Chains A and B, each alone.
Chain A
Amino acid sequence: MSLSITLTLNGVTRAIAFEDARVTLLDLLRDRLDLPGTKKGCDRGQCGACTVLVNGRRTTACLTLAATLEGAEVTTIEGLAPEGTLHPVQQAFIDNDAFQCGYCTPGQIMSAVGLIAEGRAGTDPERIREGMSGNICRCAAYHGITLAVQQATRSMVHPDTAAKTGDAA
């Protein structure tokens, strides 16, 4: 079987052919499109490591069949910021040591970008924690993650305070 979809992937619209209806978006990215930045932690929608943005919404790529994505817009960690630059969320993750091993980090960052866009958490630490709880970090960098989301939210909503780090979470 051969399938083909048209996808806008990290800003580039392209036709993508693949051979198997069972292929998930996660395996499409990792194994067929050479975009291994998106990570596999469980392959069952339980950990958030594979979080990407599909049409702007945070989505677990492991639970999304590639064949369902005709016409979709997909953003992965590789496409979050232009080459050589960092998205404010990426910068905030570095500033607040919001990761250790870095394996959950692409998913955390995409999830944070989605959460900030949803606009429901603001800089409230309790809501950020709740909103980020679909992303497991076994290294338990949660303290820094919460601070990073606060910092990034602030810098994206009020760019004048961009350099300020997050409040105590």
Chain B
Amino acid sequence: MPEIAQPFRFGSNAGQPVTRRDGIAKVTGAAAFAADTAPAGLLHALCAPAAIARGRVTHLDIARAESHPGVVRVLTPANRPFLEGDPAEKPTMFSFRIEVLQDDSVRYAGQPIAMVLAETPEAAAEGVRLLNPQYAAETPRVTLDEEAAYPVEPGGFGRPAATLHGDIEAAHGAATRALDVTYTTAPQYHNAMETHAVVAEWTGDRLHLALPSQALAMSCAAYAWFFGIPVENVTLSSPYLGGGFGSKAIPTGPQVLAILAARVLGRPVKLMLPRAQMFGPTGHRGATRQRLRLGIDDDFALTALDHDSLSETSSFDDFHEPAANASQGLYAAQALRSTHRGVRLDVGTPGPMRAPGEASGSAALECAMDEMAEQAGLDPLAFRLLNYAETEPGTGRPYSSKALRDCYRLGAERFGWAHRPLTPRQMRDAEGMLVGWGMGTALFPAPMFQAQARATLNPDGTALVETAAADMGQGAWTALAQIAADALGLPLEKVTFHSGHSSLPDGGVAGGSGHTATAGGALHAAGTDVIRQLAEIATADPASPLHGAGNARVAARDGQLFLVDDETRAEAFEAILARHGGQSLTGGGSAARPPEDAQRHAMSSHGAVFAEVKVDPELCQVRVTRLVGAFAAGRIINPRLADSQLYGGMIWGIGMALHEEAHHDPRTGRVLNADLAGYHVPVNADVTGLEVLTVHEEDPHVNILGIKGVGEIGVTGTVGAIGNAIWHATGKRIRRFPIRIEDLLAE
């Protein structure tokens, strides 16, 4: 059997900054998001949200709502139809307990307490208003101080295990210089621009869903479980997601209720959550309070790094922001500990939000490192270099690759870091603004999940590649097609890529920055399988120039098969297939990381972020005026799209550092700023002087494609860099994110 040259390094497609394949659809309005679909006979659903965070609903004016013209049905706990799946159970590893009107209790503000189905959105809205709910309210618990903390019980997703290497107490006690600081981060909400939506339609016991999903196959399994039907009876269409950021991998109560309504009413139902209802049932990044204890010896080497994170979860389920994990793999501390503690509050269950754990944890860690450097009288970058981890701290495992030094160097050069005065309040601009420079290290793990793919080579030399991947803006449609085209040895325009529909092979989860590596790995395997079959045909075919090539290495490029050692022996795909009955060839592939690979190496993306802020000395208004990020994330499939991901992540860092915070009313427990006017996210005017640099890494260990992922790392490093720059400008250490004007005004 001919051996296929492996890995295909990488012809014409991967590495090219091609524009998005779905670009025209997105700029013309033709891209149909879930709520843009409208089957005939559609009903509009709207949830009534709880206005209290804890207690019971005692009354709903159902008759009044149902008498409003256009209102068809009101679902409440009293008449809620049977649901096969128990909402107190979890169908998949990426799901939470949900609220689907199982009783009259209220567990958080914004929880659905009824659902109105109506002929028009206007009638649904009026119906919800007329319900006029009455409550028996109890005092809500909405801050980290309101309940006793407990150690987080390890258990996978959202339940990080504690780690310990060395004698942390002895090391901290014996340190030449020691630091003990506490940082807090605020509750944040994903707020993808497209709110959670579903258009649900039943034919008999078959369910058709238009629903934005970051995990198509897993979502189908979950919905099949909820409705007691075989998974093959569920089809889910999710060609476009209007952002996800972690919030659209997980089934939510309102979506399940809308599907249930469609079944009981025998009509298609559309639900599109109002923005305010994105602050409750759809997950969020829980608040944290993190204590960091650092110790260094006479040579400024970290002897102790102890990171404890207290975070909120809901009263009925567990997702703890795994913030202390951020300290696990970054600096060469001799003794290293991470612990997580939890508090149960009357809030919706938190969930993974872009760089879960690393975002909050890195914010605190990078500021603590800056404080330690300050105490030691060292430049913050020099201090980090002194504590550079050559192997994974604690375990000593080698890194699969780690070009962090290059990131530090490149970023610092581009930024002009060498000119930074050591002490704060040294720089002013022409307008008298205080200028400060800060930096932070960026880190995000490079996980892989599981995915499958199919590739079909057509007799005309074109190909179809298929996997149910999710493009929520990362550019999966484009980057994955590039990978597939390379595996098939075809120019990109000859490859049709089908994705975003559950009838296709399982593309896995778009999360953890692992989607390109995983779904891409599966496509690569599928394409390679096709080429292997084609090579078998050609080398066995006396009419082919490749005939009898035996074990000589065969490769595919530009629609031709050729011998690696003698490129004159080549033949076009079409010609090979034409002599073979003109049939198409189909291959399959899958990808997952073998456990022994995961054991052998530590695998992470790294980066360095440098920030300049200007602070008005009187008003204390803060502007980020420059942000330079240098990142090493393995092989970059599409630099244009990767840069956009990194920019986006860094801008999320600006939001976390300066803007984003949900405020709870202590009386009702409601989020007071549950809209886009009060919950501030960065706008265009907040973003200036941004620069992204990437450092190429050849990583033979991380996966066959050498990809680490770029979706989340940009948030990490950035938050701390901005906090440190604010200190450098003002001399004030604000240990609370977001940093507000009033914090800087206070003495």
Contacts and interface: CB of A to CB of B under 8 A. Distances in A.
Interface of A: 19-20, 22-23, 27, 30-31, 34-44, 46-47, 49, 76-78, 80-81, 86, 90-91, 93-95, 97, 99-106, 109, 125-126, 128-130, 132-146, 169
Contacts of A136: 193, 676, 681, 683
Contact of A103 (B24, B194, B645, B684): B194
Nearest to A23: B122
Contacts of B195: 40-41
Given A37-B28, A101-B240, A140-B651, A129 B275 contact: no
Contacts of B647: 140-144
Given A42-B675, A138-B243, A142-B687, A97 B644 contact: yes
Contact of B687 (A37, A104, A143): A143
Interface stretch (B29-37, B130-138, B281-289): B29-37
Given A39-B194, A41-B676, A44-B677, 16 more contacts: A22-B122, A22-B126, A41-B193, A41-B275, A42-B675, A42-B676, A43-B275, A86-B27, A94-B19, A101-B194, A101-B473, A102-B31, A136-B676, A139-B644, A142-B683, A143-B690
Given A31-B120, A101-B243, A90 B684 contact: no
Contacts of B240: 101-103
Nearest to B471: A101
A109 B24 CA distance: 13
B422 interface: no
Given A36-B36, A102-B22, A105-B27, A97 B641 contact: yes
B193 A39 contact: yes
B354 to A, nearest CB: 10
A165 to B, nearest CB: 12
A36 B199 CA distance: 14
A46 B681 contact: no
Contacts of A40: 35, 195, 272
Residue in B125, B193, B471, B644 with the greatest tally of chain A CB atoms within 10 Å:
B193
Residue from B26, B38, B676, B690 having most chain A Cβ neighbours under 10 A: B26
Contacts of A91: 27
B684 A101 contact: no
B644 A141 contact: yes
A140 B682 contact: yes
Contacts of A106: 27, 29
A72 B442 CA distance: 51
Contacts of A43: 274-275
B598 to A, nearest CB: 30
A121 to B, nearest CB: 11
12 contacts: A31-B38, A37-B29, A37-B36, A41-B194, A42-B676, A43-B274, A102-B22, A129-B684, A133-B683, A138-B681, A140-B652, A141-B648
A125 B32 CA distance: 31
A94 B242 contact: no
B676 A99 contact: no
Contacts of A23: 122
Contacts of B32: 36
Interface string B455-490: 000000000000000011111000000000000000
Nearest to A47: B676
B20 interface: yes
A49 B120 CA distance: 21
A146 B689 CA distance: 12
B441 interface: no
Contacts of B652: 140
Contact of B24 (A27, A41, A86): A86
Nearest to A42: B275
Interface in B644-683: 644-645, 647-648, 651-652, 675-677, 681-683
B121 interface: yes
B272 A103 contact: no
Nearest to B17: A97
Contact of A101 (B122, B274, B472, B687): B472
* Smallest CB-CB A-B distances: 4 pairs: A37-B29, A103-B242, A100-B473, A102-B26
Contact of A129 (B121, B677, B685): B685
B275 A142 contact: no
B242 A37 contact: no
Contacts of B643: 97
A99 B26 contact: yes
A78 B28 CA distance: 6
A139 to B, nearest CB: 5
User: Which bracket fits the contact residues of B?
Assistant: 35 or more
B683 A38 contact: no
A69 to B, nearest CB: 17
Contacts of B684: 128-130, 132-133, 135, 137, 142, 145-146
Interface of B: 19-20, 22-33, 35-36, 38, 120-123, 125-126, 191-195, 240-245, 272, 274-275, 471-475, 640-641, 643-645, 647-648, 651-652, 675-677, 681-685, 687-688, 690
A139 B194 contact: no
A59 B687 CA distance: 24
Contacts of A104: 193, 242
Nearest to B650: A140
A85 B647 CA distance: 29
Contact of A142 (B120, B242, B651): B651
Contacts of B38: 31, 34, 36
A93 to B, nearest CB: 5
Given A86-B28, A101-B242, A101-B243, A138 B191 contact: yes
A76 B24 CA distance: 16
A135 to B, nearest CB: 7
Nearest to B36: A36
B473 A76 contact: no
Contacts of B473: 99-102, 139
Contacts of B25: 102
Nearest to A45: B677
Contact of B27 (A93, A135, A142): A93
**A38, A41, A93 — which one has the most chain B CB atoms within 10 A of its CB?**
A41
A126 B684 CA distance: 9
Scoring A37, A103, A169 by chain B CB atoms within 10 A of each residue's CB, the highest score goes to A103
Interface core residue of A38, A44, A145 (most chain B CB under 10 Å): A44
Contacts of B28: 37, 77-78, 80-81, 86, 90
A144 B681 contact: no
**Most B-side CB within 10 Å, residue of A125, A129, A134, A137:** A137
A40 B120 CA distance: 16
A128 B191 CA distance: 24
A13 B126 CA distance: 32
Contacts of B640: 97
Contacts of A37: 28-30, 36
Contact of B29 (A27, A31, A78, A138): A78
A81 B24 CA distance: 12
A76 B684 CA distance: 22
A136 B652 CA distance: 13
Most chain B beta-carbon neighbours within 10 Å: one of A34, A97, A132, A133 = A97
Nearest to A89: B27
Nearest to B126: A22
Contacts of A46: 275, 675-677
